[in-house]
Amino acid sequence: MQDILLEMKNICKEFPSVKALDNVSLKVRRGTVHALMGENGAGKSTLMKCLFGIYGADSGEIFLDGKRVHFKNPAEALSSGVAMVHQELNQALKRSVMDNIWLGRYPTSLGIFTLEGKMYDDTVRIFEELDIKVDPREIMSRMPVSERQMVEIAKAVSYDAKVIVLDEPTSSLNEREVEHLFRIINKLRDNGCGIIYISHKMEEILRISDDVTVMRDGKHIVTERASELSMDKIIKLMVGRELTERFPPKTNKIGDVALKVEGLSAKYCPVRDVSFEVRRGEIVGVAGLGGAGRTELLETIFGLLTKSSGSITLNGKPTPNKTPREAVANGYALLTEERRATGIFGILDITENTVISNLSRYRFAGVLLSDKKMGKDTDWSIRAMRIKTPGKKTKIRTLSGGNQQKVILGRWLLTEPEVLLLDEPTRGIDVGAKYEIYQLIIDLASKGKAVMMVSSEMPELLGVCDRILVMSGGRLAGEVVPSKTDGDVQEKIMSLAAKYV
């Protein structure tokens, strides 16, 4: 049996009104991938933040290479060989790739002059070792999320980390990028590194992991070898009950054309001459490889990106949507891909996050806002979206990812939209919460809403959508109706996705 690289014993952590960790223990063997699983709010990220020095545990012990450690901050953890790649990337986007990797520890001459050449050469060496094809001088903001994720992993490797925590590392990666990530993980494992892998994607867990620990409600449930687990068993351990269906039954009825897009092209992004229709009560998926223009398509419809040509019509009425404000007024809503960066207002509470897109609804006397009306609508949202929270005054940043997503959905429903544009609506969300999000989407379609949903998860598109548009190279390569397609539907979608690459 391989020796224990990291051991966390009886870790407890309590926040106001919630016990996040209740005597949780974890052992990570050297040279293995240890998956950490559980529903949103199970305590996975909290446990890792206690390891990484972001939170201080109320009680318990941590041993690294047999020595007791207590990291007061992430800098101490990094210097001791513990690195963490967060799900929500926090990078200096206006700086170069190599700046981000060596930030706070630039190689210098005489302690004054930065050695740009050495920094470049060291970055190239790490990238070559990990087979990462990124220009070290590229500005971070110009890169897709998938490449920024790889840079963050390279940064962890640059610290000669013994333990690397990967929190939802594939949430923004396509299949080809996932394969690359797995090759990197296998290299690190072969070099004796211990990888703690947090993910909600069962297929990945069973494929890449050596050991699996399941948490539920802040407690350790079980640790077993991955080879001894099945997908159904993991789901049962996570949710504490049988979950016989991954997707709810389809109850939506498709009606007349609601949204009509003709010849849509956008400035400064890969959306070219796209035309399609979405009917009332219809859920239309958008598939494609990274960089295909899926997100950009939704953002152009919503007015976040500038339209260069084409038309957007809702219920027969032209809706130019030159700005997001105009789009909201015209009956559109957009759930963005990057929940933390562009979805939530982390320092505000649930009430403020719920009503912020619809403040005119609560005005009285011209400039004042009605606390009573805002509270009433927030109570409705919490009930309707089944949001798990101690109260409506709870800061949204303290909620799990799934519950944050439900708050944003509730926010948009209060604007009474006709068209819902959903970009990766279940990214980083556990299997139980995913089912609830799927049910909410189907319920909204059943009420006559036109829904468009971008997703990188093929089973999700096939299980929820009535029709799937496939983007490739910024163009619409074709569409697939799963119920009417002969042969392998996934193969058909992937073939279309590669059409203009």
What is the pLDDT averaged over residues 140-154?
A: 86
**How far, in Å, CA of 351 to CA of 395, rounded?**
9
pLDDT at 41 over 80: no
Q: What is the mean pLDDT of residues 72-82?
A: 92
**57-68 pLDDT, tens digit each:** 999 999 999 999
How much is the pLDDT for 244?
57
Q: What is the mean pLDDT of residues 143-156?
A: 85
Residue ranges of the alpha helices (H) in 131-252? 145-158, 175-190, 202-208, 231-239
pLDDT of residue 121: 94
Distance CA 43, CA 13 (A): 9
* Residues 56, 50: Cα–Cα separation, whole Å: 6
pLDDT digits (tens, 9 = 90+) for 454-479: 998 888 899 999 999 999 999 999 99
The pLDDT score that the predictor gives to residue 287 is: 92
In 232-282, DSSP assigns E strands to 257-266, 274-279
| Span 205-225, pLDDT tens digits | 889 999 999 998 889 999 999
- Closest to 439 (Cα-Cα) out of 376, 484, 384: 384
Q: Are 95 and 77 in contact (CB under 8 A)?
A: no
Q: What is the pLDDT of residue 337?
A: 82
pLDDT at position 200: 78
What pLDDT digit, counting tens, does each position of 314-341 carry? 999 999 999 999 999 999 999 988 777 7
Res 301: pLDDT = 97
Reported as a pLDDT band with limits 50, 70 and 90, residue 272 is very high
Give the whole-number percent of the chain exceeding pLDDT 70: 97
pLDDT above 60 for 262: yes
Mean pLDDT throughout 343-347?
A: 87
Amino acid symbol at 105? R
Tell me if residue 282 falls in helix, strand or coil: coil
Residue 290 in this model has a pLDDT that exceeds 80? no
Q: For the chain, give me the number of helices (H) and strands (E)?
A: 17, 24
Q: Which residue has the higher pLDDT, 73 or 91?
A: 73
pLDDT of residue 5: 95
Contacts of 435 (CB under 8 A, 6+ apart): 243, 245, 246, 247, 248
Residue 468: how many CA atoms within 13 Å on its side-chain side?
28
**Residue 360, pLDDT score:** 85
Confirm whether pTM is higher than 0.85: no
The band of 243, judged by pLDDT with boundaries at 50, 70 and 90, is low
pLDDT (average), residues 384-412 = 86
354-379: pLDDT as tens digits: 999 888 888 887 788 999 999 999 99
201 pLDDT more than 70:
yes
Determine the pLDDT at residue 261.
97
Q: 111 vs 103, which has greater pLDDT? A: 103
Q: What is the pLDDT of residue 501?
A: 67
- Asked if pLDDT for residue 404 goes beyond 50, the answer is yes
- Going by their DSSP bridges, the two strands 257-266 and 219-225 should be labelled as unpaired
pLDDT at position 495, please?
A: 86
Q: Report pLDDT for 1.
A: 45
Q: How confident is the model at residue 2 (pLDDT cuts 50, 70, 90)?
A: low
d(CA 98, CA 140): 9
Residue in this structure with the two tokens 């509730």, named with its chain if needed: 410
Secondary structure E strands in 372-434: 419-423
What does the mean pLDDT of the chain come to?
Answer: 89
